[in-house]
Structure 1
Amino acid sequence: MSKQSAPPAFIHTERYKKFDYGKHHPLRIARLGLTRELIGLVGLDETYYDFPAATMEDLAEFHDRYYLETLKELSETKNLRGFGSFGLGPGDNPIFPGVYEWSTLMTGASLKAAQMVVEEKRPAAFSMAGGMHHGLAARASGFCYVNDPVLVIKRLLQKDLRVVYLDLDAHHGDGVQWAFYETDQVMTISLHQHPATLFPGTGYIEEQGRGKGRGYSVNIPLWPDTEDEIYIRCFDSLVPDLIQAFNPDYLVTQLGVDALLTDPLANLNLTTRGLAHCMRAIKEMAWGRWIALGGGGYNVVNVARVWTMLWAIMMDEEDKLPEHLPQEFSDNLRLPKDERRLLDPQELIRGRFWKRAGRDADDVIELVRKEIFPVHGI
């Protein structure tokens, strides 16, 4: 970031504190407040931009209106039984008080991030509440009621812009892939745990798009126990070449944190070092056109660590990051001594399936180069 350029924008609101999926649900909205707290404690700029909630008309640019009206009604009446045909109810997608308002706020933040980059010419904007990539047009899925990445991309397409959507979440970005499966105006790239081993069970390399979209859906499935070295090899071997060839007007990135070793819902073995490498590379490719969204992450300390690291990378202030979490932060969460690092040590975590993960990764690289690269003249 040059001294002359405008800084990136951090999109946030204290209104998020009103909402909670429930004490037994793995997605903790409190992780957003923890991240902002940690950003301030390590000395990074914690200025944020508030925003209006998205309207039903905004959401209806992708979602079925009857689905939205049902979600709104259930949210207001606090009908905890839900509406099963829409994927709503006990389990992954509970009807908690204000769930519709939460969805409009989260989406409003992502639309604000897009506005800051496209209209106000910020080089990047980060909406950590966004990245709800599983939501379908008329169905909630995977903790996602409204698909904000799709809505952001649709807003960009209205301006005749070309978009790369890059998803680093451990879970496949299925909702975004299917929304743009038949267009050549959007390239979706998803690095995720192999669908044979993890929800949502999609994201096989054979899912490459249809019609005009053939070759514009890129899936990089990774076997459990994939660690930094394997992940970086896949990323570096494929992602920069694809983005350069497509030459998008904007990049929308979903930066879920659940690929980290200690995430309770996935089985990848990344550390902060591996994710930092990818985030630096994204910044190099996307600066001036980068709309960054959050995503998964079910160890709240991991979420705070990685998104604080991402903000430091965006701000060119990685040198401010200490190796260990501030004592006040660790003490408040009562973290044991072995969980008080902000940055992971530089070591590879080689689990039971590590060798298979490496072999499969090499096969994926070869197949993408063979089947996808020629579509783009690479």
Structure 2
Amino acid sequence: MKTLTSNPVFIYDDQEIQYKFNEDHPFNQDRLLMTVDLLRKCGALPDSALCLPRPATAAELLRVHALAYIEAVKALSAPVPEDTWVQAAGRYGLDTDDTPYFAGMHDITSRVVGGSITAADLVMSGAAPHALHLGGGLHHALHSKGAGFCVYNDASAAIAHIRDKYGAKVLYVDTDVHHGDGVQWSFYTEPGVCTLSIHETGKYLFPGTGAVNERGEGEAFGTSINIPVEPYTEDESWLECFGEVLTETIARFQPDVIVSQHGCDAHAFDPLAHVCCSMRVYKAMPELIHTLAHQWCDGKWIALGGGGYDIWRVVPRAWSLLWLVMSEQAIIGQLEAQPQLRLPQAWLDAWGGKSPGPLPETWLDPVHAWTPIPRRQIITDKNRQTKEIAMMYLK
């Protein structure tokens, strides 16, 4: 695999599907295989765009994680961990149903972190204008604790690397339906990093944080922006809140680079949340980020994966649309004229027999056929109030 310096780069390694807790866990990295296959079958992912991730170094992990935590992760990565480490797993958040320890987790998660740092280096060095690492986006891991399906926080590690090596101002944009808590807390007192997270309100959803009054501390006050939207929020309200707050934030903060996390679990089909967006959001949202990156950051844009638990109907389409936008593929223009453009038949044939239910046959959802959400105007009004509060102290 080689990298074309004039084109976006797709960081990928089949081994990343080994980031797997157990057979029944909702975090299923087979979604990576389906996404890559969809992009290949629509002719949008040539081998020349691919770049392998490399493992993170100890120093790179230590920028965002405590040494004791890393040692615990290593010890619990053994095929049969010692009893003393098993007994200590709860201290590090690695004994829960959400984030249980598993054999080999240190090595594979270090590669995930290294993949996001690789993406950062390619963009910051000028070797590529944009880079996408769908295996990344593990935004819930904390300094000394695993959480929310996340062992190491590759997003925080990549941002810390950018700050240390390049001295750049970073805007982190998190569109996962769950608050980007691990990244926010990593840089809550760092004025050179601005974190913006749009997510379902923590009143009802893990991790319970991300209120509008979480704004940063000290010199960094005003650089933590949260947009907690209501359950059953739909496309128009989501895009209104996201677009207005992001556009104003980037104009105020004026970053050197955007790092974005693209969990696609705000989709109506996702089983772990209550927001009701369609695939339209997953086309419009990266389009806005792409435009703003060129307007404010000389195009510098690093995108990561994230949540997404309907791995058949949602994730392959959403993540493929992200790459199609980032790499300016013709399909994006075709979708403007043909909203019900069909997915490649070869992809439908390859995965249809494996899916537990019918696969969608078009890139975008037929939202006109969806049952209308009750209380739509009340939800929209509440989200507008939240949006206004979120923008009160932008820095």
TM-score, length basis structure 1 = 0.93
Amino acid at match of 2:175: L
Give a deviation string over 1:92-120, Cα, whole Å, max 9, x none.
11122211112111111100100110114
Q: CA deviation at 1:270?
A: 0.8
Amino acid at match of 1:11: I
2:328 pairs, out of 308, 311, 316, with 316
Contact conserved, 1:78 with 1:95, CA < 8 A, in 2? Answer: no
Amino acid at match of 1:340: E
Match status 1:65 vs 2:67: yes
Match status 1:250 vs 2:270: no
Q: CA deviation at 1:319?
A: 4.2
Give a deviation string over 1:132-162, Cα, whole Å, max 9, x none.
1100011001001101111111111112211
State the alpha-carbon separation in 2 of the partners of residues 228 and 88 from structure 1.
35
2:360 pairs, out of 339, 351, 367, with 339
Aligned to 2:378: 356
Q: CA deviation at 1:125?
A: 0.2
1:295 pairs, out of 283, 302, 306, with 306
Aligned to 2:16: 16
State the alpha-carbon separation in 2 of the partners of residues 112 and 333 from structure 1.
34
Amino acid at match of 2:56: A
TM-score, length basis structure 2 = 0.89
Give the paired residue count.
370
Q: CA deviation at 1:14?
A: 1.8
Give a deviation string over 1:149-184, Cα, whole Å, max 9, x none.
111111111122111000000000001111111121
Match status 1:34 vs 2:34: yes
Q: CA deviation at 1:5?
A: 7.8
State the alpha-carbon separation in 1 of the partners of residues 259 and 352 from structure 2.
32
Contact conserved, 2:132 with 2:302, CA < 8 A, in 1? Answer: yes
Aligned to 1:148: 154
Aligned pairs for 1:35-184 (under 5 A) are 35-47=35-47, 48-79=50-81, 81=86, 83-158=89-164, 159-184=166-191
Q: CA deviation at 1:345?
A: 2.6
Give a deviation string over 1:247-276, Cα, whole Å, max 9, x none.
101110001100111001011111111221
Q: CA deviation at 1:43?
A: 1.3
Q: CA deviation at 1:86?
A: 0.3
Contact conserved, 1:224 with 1:353, CA < 8 A, in 2? Answer: no
State the alpha-carbon separation in 2 of the partners of residues 364 and 17 from structure 1.
37
State the alpha-carbon separation in 2 of the partners of residues 340 and 244 from structure 1.
39
Q: CA deviation at 1:235?
A: 1.5
State the alpha-carbon separation in 2 of the partners of residues 323 and 298 from structure 1.
24
State the alpha-carbon separation in 2 of the partners of residues 5 and 101 from structure 1.
29
Q: Partner of 1:165: helix, strand, or coil?
A: strand
Q: Which runs of 4+ in 1 moved over 4 A?
A: 319-322, 335-338
Match status 1:194 vs 2:191: no
* Unpaired runs of at least 5, structure 2: none
Q: Partner of 2:139: helix, strand, or coil?
A: coil
Amino acid at match of 1:363: Q
State the alpha-carbon separation in 1 of the partners of residues 244 and 333 from structure 2.
28
The Cα RMSD (Å) is 2.0
Contact conserved, 1:207 with 1:217, CA < 8 A, in 2? Answer: yes
1:281 pairs, out of 271, 288, 293, with 288
